[in-house]
Amino acid sequence: MASSAVIIVGAGFAGMWAALSAARTLEGKADSSVEIILIAPEPTLYIRPRLYENDVSQAFAPLADLLAEASVRYVQGTVQKIVVENKSVEYVSADGTASTLAFDRLVLATGSNLFRPASVDGLAEYSFDADQMESALKLDAHLKSLAALPDSPARNTVVVCGGGFTGAEIAAEMPQRLRGILGHNADVKVIVLERGDSINFMGPTSNPIVVEALAFLGVEVLTSQSVASIDAEGVTTDSGTRIASRTAIWTAGMRASPLTAQIPAKRDELGRLFVTQNLQVVGVDHVYATGDTAHVAADDQGHLALMSCQQAMVLGKYAGGNAILDLLGLPQVPYSQPMYVTCLALGPWGALFTRGWDREVSLVREEGYKMKTQINTQWIYPPANRAEAFAAADPEGPQVAA
């Protein structure tokens, strides 16, 4: 019998769970003629929701052994091209070798990247971020280097560009983090710039609590301020406001992986591919999109899945399983994820945990922090072995929020 291949591109939350769910679905349903392949630069899950933290040394987990246990073949490489009409992907390995693999079903799980608009002068040269592990480590090294500079407002000031979820978490950590580097008595200042006329960290119900927490921490929020330029000594807004700062941290929005543009299908304003509830790309039946690359309703109320690991974990399970079911000619399982929670870390103040799409407040301060710690250190990490992985890979099983 000729072999068939399901290729999963990406080893983030969606990619990892797509691979494990595909393996679980295949078990007992077909022989070894179906191969599951995961392609990624490294067999490592980087715990992206933790990259705002002071210490990111535990914010990753190796996947090689788990994938091998699950009979998923890992291929080291970065996918450069997807040729839909030929059902193939072209990738480059670490040593620069170019190779091609054919697929019968493709699951695109390449996530998202921080949006960096070309209109902001100096953004690429002078800003920092915590979007990926590499950039989080670069930010950490920069912050530590500030201790060698003379005391000045620019040295002591951090500007967080973007008043969303990530901006709030980074800003809340920063006063304590700076004082740990510059000294307890350092005159540190943390400023959040938000282009809207009001902040929108987590919606109207939770915003007052976030505002209270940031005020408690000494974080200043300036609204109606779009960043016009960044240089080595500060940030200038489009209103002409100038803030002296050696550290500008960019957090203003996400966009889906550029690989989505290689799929001949409709995308939304964030670059996500429109998919059916089975997560098949609309009009391209043999390609699935999942995680941050998929535009899909999470429930029958019309709430769209968000770019978050909470959605990606479950989306990955549906996509991987459905790719196998489709290949075997079996009925697929429509994606549904009506449960939604959020947990926002707010530095020494604690954390805010909400339930539902309206983000009704459930836990705050110390109790919220306990929940955030449990999420960040337990729930979002990979299973320990094949048995645990297959038990958790049921897309319609218990859903854990992150």
What is the pLDDT confidence band of residue 401, given thresholds at 50, 70 and 90?
very low
Residue range 201-219, pLDDT digits in tens? 777 888 899 999 999 999 9
pLDDT of 230 higher than 80: yes
Identify the CATH assignment for 123-250 out of 3.50.50.60, 3.40.50.300, 3.40.50.2300, 3.30.420.40. Answer: 3.50.50.60
User: What does the pLDDT look like over 80-123, one tens digit per residue?
Assistant: 999 999 999 999 999 999 999 999 999 999 999 999 999 999 99
Residue with tokens 């170019």: 98
Q: Strand pairing of 280-281 and 284-289? A: antiparallel
Beta-strand relationship, 98-102 and 351-355? unpaired
Q: What is the rounded distance in angstroms from the CA atom of residue 86 to the CA atom of residue 94?
A: 25
- Copy the structure tokens of residue 146: 């500030």
Q: How distant is the alpha carbon of residue 70 from its chain centre?
A: 24
More confident residue, 402 or 39: 39
On the question of pLDDT at 367 being above 70, the answer is yes
* pLDDT at 397 (0 to 100): 72
How far apart are alpha carbons 271 and 89 in whole angstroms? 20
Under 8 Å between Cβ of 49 and 402: yes
**Structural tokens at position 280:** 């098949």
Other beta carbons within 10 Å of 88: 15
Domain pair 4-114+254-339 / 123-250, same fold:
yes
Give, for 230, the enclosing helix (H) or strand (E): strand 227-231
What is the per-residue pLDDT for 202?
A: 76
Structure tokens at 229: 């330029």
CA distance 162 to 140: 19
Mean pLDDT of 11-25: 98
Q: Taking 90 as the threshold, does the pLDDT of residue 291 lie above it? A: yes
pLDDT above 70: residue 251: yes
CATH classification for the domain delimited by 4-114+254-339, as one of 3.50.50.60, 3.90.1260.10, 3.90.180.10, 3.30.565.10: 3.50.50.60
3-state secondary structure of 117: coil
Give the pTM.
0.95
Helices (H), 13-132: 13-26, 64-69, 123-126
Contacts of 125 (CB under 8 A, 6+ apart): 230
- Count other C-beta atoms under 10 Å from residue 164's C-beta: 19
Share of the chain above pLDDT 90, in %: 91
Phi-psi sector, 79: left (phi>0), alpha (psi -120 to 50), beta: beta
113's enclosing H/E stretch is strand 112-114
Grade residue 1 by pLDDT with cuts at 50, 70 and 90: very low
**For residue 350, pLDDT beyond 70:** yes
With tokens 């921490």, the residue in question is 217
DSSP secondary structure letters along 218-246? TEEEE-S--EEEEETTEEEETT--EEE-S
Q: Which of 46, 222, 14 is nearest to 111 (CA)?
A: 14
* Ranges of each domain in the chain: 4-114+254-339, 123-250
Mean pLDDT of the 310-335 span: 97
How distant, in Å, are the alpha carbons of 134, 205, 211, 349 from that of 361? 34, 7, 14, 16
Question: What is the C-alpha to C-alpha distance for residues 46 and 28, in angstroms, rounded to an integer?
Answer: 31
Of 29-33, 169-173, 180-184, 367-371, the poorest mean pLDDT is in 29-33
Residue 402 pLDDT greater than 60, yes or no:
no
CA separation for the pair 324, 278 (Å, rounded) = 12
